[in-house]
């Protein structure tokens, strides 16, 4: 009997390893097409920090995803997801990004999905407020950070080595990475070309692989348990089959009904909740700020580089701030123009197409609050997306 004493343990270990290393795609039957459809608009950090849903969505030949940050949560009838649900242009979209999502998060995400990005058209919305003098801080980095994608980078042998090294050097500046002994050991060894921890790094890689496999199974579990977004504020009758001129008219009417209490082109709900009670103290509070010097430019360059490395076909969208509000806040228009020119040049130097909306700072109902594209802004983006898809 004694020779069989370890048999249950041996079987348990074998079953665990089978479960651990079985590809997630083999378990895809557990997730319905309805679950995948819900994931397109969930704007859930569990989806952003995972890989399963995006792998599945990116493999759809007619997928035209939109990457950005908090503006993607500004749902109204003209929002691209709602608009293209009502108007079939031959593609569907999913949304990636929420408040605090910046270039470094997008880089990690694109790096994890490189093999599904070749010849894939996508939209990338660039937000001016990313480009502060300090760039993304730990407070905003950590909630949107994907440990799974960071481990994927550590074990990625297909990416351009110099780009991989540059990314690791940047990621090591964040506590979320430094606190992870296994990950930081691999990263630090890579950035020193194997000189710092050659033995430790060699021992860490098998552990990293197991950690990654565990996180992939956790990602699959969360994918199964995800819930749909309840309010998309869709109105198919308003947008279906309408001309650009009609949509612009409806967007102006929609916006004007929601801006009645101020002359700063800010929707009433946001104005009353965030600004009205402290309006006097906010006058001129941005007078010393600038968006022309920021670590974010290097992070954004990594986004450009990884998309080029992947062979993707992105359409970048440079959006403005609310000109009236930024004037009130004391942020000079000349400095805003300097930022617009710099970011546009960076995109164009990479050889990617750019939709430049920065001339619409003062356009009524293009921005719904101080910084977020909405209403008429979405109408303009809908047209650009439809045109780009046909190219």
Q: What is the DSSP letter of 24?
A: G
Rounded to two decimals, the pTM is 0.93
* pLDDT tier for residue 255 given thresholds of 50, 70 and 90: very high
Mean pLDDT confidence for 146-160: 96
Predicted confidence at residue 222, as pLDDT, reads 78
Predicted confidence at residue 25, as pLDDT, reads 67
Give the rounded percent of residues in the chain with a pLDDT score beyond 90: 81
Helices (H), the chain: 7-21, 33-39, 45-49, 52-58, 80-86, 103-112, 138-144, 147-154, 161-171, 175-178, 181-191, 198-225, 236-239, 244-256, 268-270, 279-282, 296-310, 323-328, 333-349, 376-390
Domain spans, the chain: 2-390
Residue whose C-alpha is closest to residue 204's, from 191, 187, 192, 227: 187
pLDDT, greater one: 176 or 224 = 176
Residues 6+ apart with CB under 8 A from 105: 48, 141, 144, 145, 146
Residue whose C-alpha is closest to residue 169's, from 308, 343, 350, 299: 299
Mean pLDDT confidence for 267-293: 97
What are the φ and ψ backbone dihedral angles of 355, each rounded to 5 degrees?
-100, 115
> In angstroms, rounded to a whole number, what is the distance separating the alpha carbons of residues 147 and 149?
5
> In angstroms, rounded to a whole number, what is the distance separating the alpha carbons of residues 367 and 16?
52
Question: Nearest-5° angle of CA 127, CA 51, CA 37?
Answer: 80
Coil/strand/helix, residue 41:
coil
> In angstroms, rounded to a whole number, what is the distance separating the alpha carbons of residues 308 and 349?
12
4 exposure class (CB count in 10 Å sphere: 0-12, 13-18, 19+)? exposed
* pLDDT tier for residue 195 given thresholds of 50, 70 and 90: confident
29 exposure class (CB count in 10 Å sphere: 0-12, 13-18, 19+)? exposed
Residue whose C-alpha is closest to residue 351's, from 288, 308, 391: 308
305-326 confidence digits (pLDDT tens): 999 999 999 999 999 999 999 9
339-387 confidence digits (pLDDT tens): 999 999 999 999 999 999 999 999 999 999 999 999 999 999 999 999 9
Average pLDDT, the chain: 93
55-77 confidence digits (pLDDT tens): 999 999 999 999 999 999 999 99
Residue 26: is its pLDDT beyond 70? Answer: no
What are the φ and ψ backbone dihedral angles of 314, each rounded to 5 degrees?
-80, 150
Predicted confidence at residue 176, as pLDDT, reads 97
Predicted confidence at residue 48, as pLDDT, reads 87
Q: 3-state SS of 268-300?
A: HHHHHHHHHHHHHHHCCCCCCCCCCCCCHHHHH
Q: How many beta carbons lie within 10 A of that of residue 207, not counting itself?
A: 14
102-113 burial, b if ≥16 CB within 10 A, otherwise e? bbbbbbbbbbbb
CB contact at 8 A, 378 and 80: yes
Residue whose C-alpha is closest to residue 386's, from 311, 315, 320, 307: 315
> In angstroms, rounded to a whole number, what is the distance separating the alpha carbons of residues 376 and 367?
8
* pLDDT tier for residue 20 given thresholds of 50, 70 and 90: low
Residue whose C-alpha is closest to residue 388's, from 298, 300, 313: 313
């Amino acid at each position: 009997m004694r020779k069989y004493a370890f048999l249950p343990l041996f079987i348990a270990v074998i079953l665990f390893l089978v479960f651990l290393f079985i590809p997630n795609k083999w378990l895809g039957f557990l997730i319905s097409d309805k679950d995948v459809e819900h994931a397109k608009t969930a704007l859930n950090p569990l989806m952003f920090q995972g890989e399963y849903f995006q792998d599945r969505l990116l493999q759809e030949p007619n997928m035209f995803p939109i990457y950005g940050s908090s503006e993607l949560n500004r749902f109204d009838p003209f929002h691209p997801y709602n608009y293209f649900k009502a108007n079939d242009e031959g593609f569907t979209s999913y949304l990636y990004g929420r408040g605090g999502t910046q270039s470094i998060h997008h880089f990690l995400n694109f790096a994890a999905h490189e093999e599904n990005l070749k010849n894939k058209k996508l939209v990338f919305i660039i937000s001016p407020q990313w480009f502060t003098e300090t760039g993304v801080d730990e407070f905003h980095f950590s909630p949107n950070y994907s440990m799974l994608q960071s481990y994927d980078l550590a074990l990625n042998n297909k990416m351009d080595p110099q780009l991989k090294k540059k990314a690791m050097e940047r990621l090591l500046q964040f506590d979320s990475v430094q606190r992870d002994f296994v990950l930081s050991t691999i990263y630090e060894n890579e950035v020193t070309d194997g000189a710092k921890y050659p033995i430790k790094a060699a021992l860490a890689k098998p552990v990293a692989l197991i950690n990654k496999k565990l996180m992939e199974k956790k990602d699959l579990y969360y994918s199964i348990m995800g819930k749909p977004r309840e309010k998309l504020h869709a109105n198919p009758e308003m947008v279906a089959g309408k001309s650009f001129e009609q949509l612009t008219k409806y967007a102006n009417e929609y916006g004007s009904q929601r801006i009645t209490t101020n002359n700063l082109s800010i929707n009433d709900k946001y104005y009353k909740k965030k600004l009205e009670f402290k309006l006097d103290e906010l006058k001129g509070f941005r007078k010393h700020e600038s968006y022309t010097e920021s670590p974010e430019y290097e992070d954004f360059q990594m986004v450009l580089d990884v998309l080029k490395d992947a062979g993707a076909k992105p359409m970048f969208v440079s959006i403005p701030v609310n000109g009236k509000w930024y004037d009130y806040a004391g942020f000079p228009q000349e400095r805003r123009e300097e930022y617009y020119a710099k970011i546009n040049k960076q995109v164009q130097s990479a050889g990617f197409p750019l939709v430049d909306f920065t001339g619409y700072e003062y356009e009524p109902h293009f921005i719904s609050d101080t910084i977020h594209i909405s209403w008429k802004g979405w109408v303009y983006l809908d047209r650009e997306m439809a045109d780009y898809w046909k190219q």
